[in-house]
Amino acid sequence: MSQAPALSLDVALVGGGIMSATLGTFLQQVEPSWSIGLFENLDRAGLESSDPWNNAGTGHSALCELNYAPAAADGSVDPKKSLGINEQFQLSRQFFSWAVTNGLVKDPQSFIHPLPHMSFVIGEDHQRYLKTRYESLSANPLFASMEYTEDRDQIGDWTPLVGEGRTQKTVAASRVKDGTDVDFGSLTRQLVDGLGAKGADIRFRHRVTNLTKTANGWQLEVKNQGTGETFAVDAKFVFVGAGGGALPLLQKSGIDEAKGYGGFPVSGEFLRCTNNEVIARHEAKVYGQASVGAPPMSVPHLDTRYVGGKKALMFGPYGGFSPKFLKTGKLWDLPASVRGNNLLPMLAVAKDNLDLVKYLVTELLKTRNQQMNAMRDYYPAANAEDWELITAGQRVQVIKKDPKKKGVLQFGTEVIAAGDGTIAGLLGASPGASTATPIMLGLLQRCFPSKYAGWEDTLKAMVPTLGHTLNDEPDLYAETKAVTDKVLKLA
Ligand SMILES: Cc1cc2nc3c(=O)[nH]c(=O)nc-3n(C[C@H](O)[C@H](O)[C@H](O)COP(=O)(O)OP(=O)(O)OC[C@H]3O[C@@H](n4cnc5c(N)ncnc54)[C@H](O)[C@@H]3O)c2cc1C
């Protein structure tokens, strides 16, 4: 039953991460007269998964992440998935560039830095795979600048920490110089500030505790965490951009489209370097191969980061398990998410993913010595005293119904939207923040089908190659990349 609302909005954004920030920015441009409210449980925007210490900051464009180019049974590598990820990041780069040009972000170096993306492997099988991947990808305009080597000295030139003290002879690496490191937390906060400056009602320390369908949209129950007061907010459209908190809220909404979905939380830890001399000697994101059973996004990487303008160096992630759905969540998040409609898919996933369970248990039991040894595959001369352990964000992987297997675990993201388009939410976390732009553009098209055509010109002013496939239009790719490189100070 609905109460008299304290606030009536056109759009309510639940959560202040990169997804809500991106969607809100698009909506404010296409419908400047719409009233927008954003409710964030924590003190500031971008403090959960979008925070720079909670994710790896890779501008995912499949330049170095081997999980986006798996080998087929015959050893061949199909470039399709990598091309798709790269195409998506081109849209994000254009959106970032628009945000800088339009003054929403003052200085691009507050959130994005150019950084070589490398893949590094050890052993004959992996070397063969990396060469095949290089041949398959570099034949495409989007990957034409990829380099490949099996020469240890060359690898040492590209990245001294990876070469130094290395004894294995059979190694290989690929490199694309124009990858990026992105501080999604800084970007999120600047976009949310921009929303507020243009009239959106931004409420930090406000938690959305329930959602009820009304005749004109939805009524949200919102709790002010400072005063303890609870009030009602009416909204014609709701985006549940609550990250790991999205599944419980979508379940509360009762929409049919959310039924059958479950979540499997995977936590991560990184080792962070405390030695400035070591940090200064590395300038790349170096990704390797995932261990057997590891979820695809858990591939180890030795990573330069730029956080708050300061250079950092991380290695990880080490997988872990916590039943929380957010880093600031509750231990009962996982059990509380079990429903009659998702129990079967969840049990099926538990039965079919023993490799993953084994991987997580092994990771949890790793001693610091074993963690350091894992790093030494990438940085053989690493000294344990130079590294401290930090806990990263929570990822809630999507569990969904499957006609054959009853339930499957999915590592991508999925937009759940009600058939009438009045509510949508995002589940899953990979490739994540890097794809916020294309995901939110897709959401606009899906939830506002009758308005989208009228919005297209405005959207194309923000993301000029919307609707194009840049790999098929190399001149357009070169032209737009030159513009974004200049605006974002990447060249
Ligand atoms: C270890 C790790 C590494 C990653 N590495 C990368 C990477 O290298 N590159 C990349 O592109 N992506 C990466 N990702 C994924 C990326 O971080 C996420 O996809 C992205 O940040 C999700 O953004 P979001 O806005 O959906 O969620 P979040 O940033 O988590 O924001 C959700 C917000 O909702 C708030 N909230 C939750 N419930 C409520 C409620 N009931 N009421 C009000 N507010 C609520 C939370 O406090 C939070 O601020 C990584 C993720 C992890 C965990």
Q: Whose C-alpha lies nearest to ligand 1, atom 1?
A: 55
89 lines ligand 1 (CB under 6 A): no
pLDDT in tens, 98-115: 999 999 998 999 999 999
24 lines ligand 1 (CB under 6 A): no
CA distance 55 to 268: 9
Kindly list the strands in the beta sheet with 310-320, ordered across the sheet, starting from the edge strand earlier in the chain.
147-149, 171-176, 117-122, 285-287, 301-307, 310-320, 262-273, 387-402, 406-410
Mean pLDDT of the chain: 94
- On whether residue 90 sits in a domain, the answer given is yes
User: Rounded to two decimals, what is the model's pTM?
Assistant: 0.96
Give the pLDDT score at 362: 81
Distance of CA 16 from the midpoint of ligand 1 (Å): 9
Residue 59 has pLDDT above 90, yes or no: yes
Residues 6+ apart with CB under 8 A from 104: 25, 190, 191, 193, 194
What is the CATH number for 216?
3.50.50.60
61 lines ligand 1 (CB under 6 A): no
Residue 327 has pLDDT above 80, yes or no: yes
Where do the DSSP E strands lie in 301-455?
Answer: 301-307, 310-320, 387-402, 406-410, 413-417, 423-428
Give the pLDDT score at 87: 98
Distance of CA 97 from the midpoint of ligand 1 (Å): 22
CA distance 459 to 448: 14
Q: Higher pLDDT residue, 193 or 5?
A: 193
- CA of 139: how far to CAs of 106, 131, 320, in Å? 37, 12, 38
- On whether residue 480 sits in a domain, the answer given is no
- On whether residue 488 sits in a domain, the answer given is no
41 lines ligand 1 (CB under 6 A): yes
Closest atom of ligand 1 relative to the 434 alpha carbon:
11
pLDDT in tens, 285-316: 999 998 766 666 678 999 999 998 899 999 99
Q: Higher pLDDT residue, 349 or 87?
A: 87
Query: How much helix, strand and coil, in percent to the nearest 5, is found in the chain?
Result: 40, 25, 35
Q: Is 16 exposed, middle or buried (0-12, 13-18, 19+ CB in 10 A)?
A: buried
Give the pLDDT score at 297: 64
Three-state SS at 424: strand
pLDDT in tens, 367-406: 889 899 999 999 999 999 999 999 999 989 899 998 888 8
Mean pLDDT computed over 345-367: 82
Min mean pLDDT across 198-202, 243-247, 294-298, 452-456 is at 294-298
Question: Tokens 């130094």 sit at which residue?
Answer: 164
Give the pLDDT score at 405: 87
Number of domains in the chain: 1
CA distance 222 to 209: 6
Distance of CA 112 from the midpoint of ligand 1 (Å): 18
pLDDT band of residue 1 (cuts 50, 70, 90) is: low
pLDDT in tens, 397-450: 899 998 888 888 888 899 999 999 999 999 987 789 999 999 999 999 999 999
Give the pLDDT score at 298: 73
68 lines ligand 1 (CB under 6 A): no
- On whether residue 478 sits in a domain, the answer given is no
Please report which residue ranges of 149-241 form alpha helices under DSSP H.
Answer: 152-158, 160-163, 184-197
- On whether residue 283 sits in a domain, the answer given is yes
Q: Whose C-alpha lies nearest to ligand 1, atom 3?
A: 55
Helices 474-487 and 80-101 pack at an angle, to 10 degrees, of 40
Element (H, E) at 30: helix 18-30
Say how many C-beta atoms besides its own lie within 10 A of residue 309's C-beta. 12
Give the pLDDT score at 460: 98
pLDDT in tens, 10-54: 999 999 999 999 999 999 999 999 999 999 999 999 999 999 999
- On whether residue 452 sits in a domain, the answer given is yes
Residue 366 · residue 321 · CB < 8 Å: no
Bridge partners (DSSP) of residue 91 are: none
Residue 98 · residue 188 · CB < 8 Å: no
- The pair phi, psi for residue 25, each rounded to 5°, is -65, -45
pLDDT in tens, 115-154: 999 999 999 999 999 999 999 999 999 999 999 999 999 9
243 lines ligand 1 (CB under 6 A): yes
DSSP 267-323: EEEEEEE--HHHHHT--SEEE-PPPTT--GGG--EEEEEEETTEEEEEEEEEEE--S
Which residue range forms the structural domain that includes residue 100?
Answer: 7-471
Structure tokens at 411: 């590592």
CA distance 134 to 144: 10
pLDDT in tens, 450-466: 999 999 999 999 999 99
Q: 55-94 burial, b for 16+ CB within 10 Å, e for fewer? A: bbbbbbbbbbbbbbbebeeeeebebeebbbbbbbbbbbbb
- On whether residue 43 sits in a domain, the answer given is yes
Residues 6+ apart with CB under 8 A from 215: none
- On whether residue 484 sits in a domain, the answer given is no
Determine the straight-line distance between the first and last CA of the chain, rounded to whole angstroms: 56
Give the pLDDT score at 229: 97
Q: Whose C-alpha lies nearest to ligand 1, atom 52?
A: 55
438 lines ligand 1 (CB under 6 A): no
CA distance 318 to 366: 9
pLDDT band of residue 478 (cuts 50, 70, 90) is: very high
- The pair phi, psi for residue 9, each rounded to 5°, is -125, 160
317 lines ligand 1 (CB under 6 A): yes
Give the pLDDT score at 196: 98
Q: C-alpha angle 480/414/450, rounded to 5°?
A: 70
